[in-house]
Amino acid sequence: MSSNNKSDNYTCISYVNNNTRITSGIPIVLQRLMMRDYCTPKGITYTYEQLELEVMAHLPTLQHIIEYDRPNEIVLYSVYSLPENPKLRAAILDLALKYNVKLHFSNEDYQFENEEDRHWVDDVLGFGTIEVLRHEA
């Protein structure tokens, strides 16, 4: 249990997916390493990891974790781990706010904790589109 845990009921979950345009090109092992490098200096330890179901753009596993597991915190690889579709993304952020689940975006070193943070998320994801190029070996 990390030093930032407030009780024995504290839970933090690491969450990885390959379901967005950006994360589809980033191997799970690299996502895990980035999350580890983010968490270690902050004293964050996760209770367990969840992996999203493939080809499910609405991220049902993430939604289920927030609504039913109700951890204190979830560590994601990046804000780009969230859906690009604003309605799908809003549903996830709404759940996080409703159940008071802090979302960490390790690549951006940012935490989503309140309604004001939604603007940052939407600004980053709405800034422009990133073209993902795949190179076949």
Adjacent-strand bridge partners of 112: 103
Residue 13 near residue 104 (C-beta atoms within 8 A): no
Superfamily of domain 12-55+70-116: Resolvase, N-terminal catalytic domain (3.40.50.1390)
Residue 1 near residue 10 (C-beta atoms within 8 A): yes
Q: Which residue has the higher pLDDT, 53 or 94?
A: 94
Look up residue 85 and give its DSSP letter: S
* Mean pLDDT of the chain, nearest integer: 89
Checking if the pLDDT of 117 tops 90, the result is yes
9-65 pLDDT, tens digit per residue, is 899 999 999 999 889 989 999 999 999 999 999 999 999 999 998 888 899 999 999
- Which pLDDT belongs to residue 110? 98
Strand 102-105 to strand 110-112: parallel, antiparallel, or no bridges (unpaired)?
A: antiparallel
Q: How far apart are CA 38 and CA 44, in angstroms?
A: 8
